[in-house]
A and B are shown apart, each in its own frame.
Chain A
Amino acid sequence: MGEPILQVHGVSKFFGGLTALDDVDFEVSCGEVVALLGDNGAGKSTLIKCISGVYRPERGQIIFDGHVITGHTPMEIRGLGIETIYQDLALAENLDVGANVFLGKEKKRRWLGLFPITDDEFMRRESEQALDKLDIHIPSLRQKLVNLSGGQRQAVAIARAIYWNAKLIIMDEPTAALGVPEQRKVLDLIRTLRQQQIPVILISHTMQDVMDVADRMVVMRRGRVVANVPRREATVDLLVKYIIGAEEMA
């Protein structure tokens, strides 16, 4: 693993009297899949939202790719290359793959050299290449997303992220709504991202997923990081103990 691309130093976040994050340190290196574990309310989502700019931490510093990003807006942070893929995927399911990959940044050409129209052919081709990089083949790119499977949609969301040069992808429960074969495909996608040196932060409650793809497991409890376990030392048993607080890391 190389230098850390993301460094979270001593970040704290309060909601009124509640301490959502308490002096959290967290790092992600290039080509690393880091699982973020913890019970509901442990602070995983808050941490993610501080990284993606949705929340502004009260204390601490977040450095990404050489930039201090603490307090930046979500759009600025996306612009720097941190892409968050939420459970709902944020796709327009009534549109096709190309339209979704380019949503809000449509490629245009001039019709009759005059009127700007969407260049659907270009967007479809580019999307196909982005999906090829992920080893995903969708039979008809003209299909509306509503007609694709859950895993294929997940792939479209990831393809969109990497097409626009995501350097870090945060995935929130990517397999939660999927059937077993689809879950497996999503895990394959995560491995593909690792091969391409794109780091992934994976939030998941599914221990098996985490054990399958993560290089490192970070466990949070009550707003603190309580464990940082490399894959080779991790067992489901140990992780569960950290999650429920039956074990503390030395």
Chain B
Amino acid sequence: MKSKSSSATSLDIFLNLLARSWTYLFLVGLLVFFSLTGPGFFTVRNFSNILVASTLVMLMAIGQTFVIITSGIDLSIAFTVGLSSVIGATTMRNLALGGMDIGLAILIGIGAGVLASLIPGLVNGYLVAWVRVPPFIATLGMYGIVRGAAFLLTDGQQVVGGLPQNLRDSLSSIGNGSLIYTVPDIGLVFFSRPADLAPAQLRFTDMLLPYPVIVAALVVLIFGFILGRTQFGRHTYAIGGNQDAAIRAGINVKRHLLMIYVLSAFTASIAGLLHVFRFTAGSPLAGESALLSSVAAVVIGGTNLFGGEGRLSGTVVGALIIATLTTGLVILNIDALWQFIIVGVIIIVAVLVGRVQQALERRQI
């Protein structure tokens, strides 16, 4: 069988490259635009703020990418984040108040928060894979259930507070801390802010590698590796591309889908626990506002909502675009509501570009 004669022109190749990389270019364009127009945008402090601000959406979007590649969707993470934060914060508080060592209390709290997320993850996976409930419906049901459960645990309160001061200090030193600081007149300082800084020095001390960003980056690297290089990742794509083919090829599709929804709940729980570290409190609403942004980040990143296609690097760029927009608009003193409009437009553009790209690829054979 011979190939069809090549009809790819250099214009086609250029357009294809553009379609592949437009989100990166868009992000760079945004950064350049805001740097030129927004006073104080082009600073270490602001960039580290953007990165920290992006972690919530980013972590939720990582799991969501896997789910969407299998042609599913996970709405329940909107409150899995909150559930993990509530259970994490409550556990840490009660253990610390009971006199346990702070470090141990924090570790157990982390474990409890992650374990709690297993429940919605397993239920979602079971419903989707075994009961064959459409993912939208199954996770919409869990959205309500987890929301109710999280609020019941807090007696209807929006915040789980009352953490003892020493626990809050420990949490905050990580949640609002950085691996590397730049301090005027001193240079780079590692692990924590020096204690005895002059007010002027303190004011110009910047965080070069905030811990939440390191956590999110590690999660991105690990799951990017899993998706891109391992058999697990390959099967994720196969299931999204043709579930019947995956079944006939002997892939245990049910078990795989179960793991996908557990994975999604897991990255959401990390987001919830980061919330505890950053705000030294838990909240059922910790992830609610980020659900749609997380889906937006996945779609902007080029993942096909019908499944089978997508990359984690795209999702990272999508999350960064959203965080950059939010911060940039604030700095320009533009009504933050514009963010929604702009993100909405980008989502639609992303879908259209994806379609054009598929057509271009086909022409290049």
Contacts and interface: CB of A to CB of B under 8 A. Distances in A.
Nearest to B362: A147
Contacts of A116: 230-231
Contacts of B361: 144, 147
B237 A95 contact: yes
B271 interface: no
A138 B245 CA distance: 21
B206 interface: no
Interface in A106-125: 106, 108, 111, 115-118
Nearest to B358: A146
A93 B1 CA distance: 19
A93 B250 contact: no
Interface residues on B, range: 20 to 34
A148 B365 contact: yes
Interface string B80-108: 00000000000000000000000000000
A105 B362 contact: no
Interface string A56-87: 00000000000000000001000000000000
A95 B362 CA distance: 14
Interface string A86-99: 00111111110001
Contacts, number: 86
A79 B230 CA distance: 25
A220 to B, nearest CB: 25
Nearest to B244: A90
Contact of B246 (A75, A92, A146, A185): A92
A151 interface: yes
B355 interface: no
B238 A185 contact: no
Contacts of B364: 147
Given A90-B242, A137-B1, A104 B229 contact: no
Given A95-B234, A137-B3, 17 more contacts: A75-B250, A88-B244, A92-B245, A99-B238, A103-B245, A104-B235, A104-B238, A108-B231, A111-B229, A115-B225, A115-B230, A116-B231, A118-B229, A118-B231, A118-B233, A137-B2, A146-B362
Interface of A: 75, 88-95, 99, 103-106, 108, 111, 115-118, 136-140, 143-144, 146-149, 151-152, 155, 185
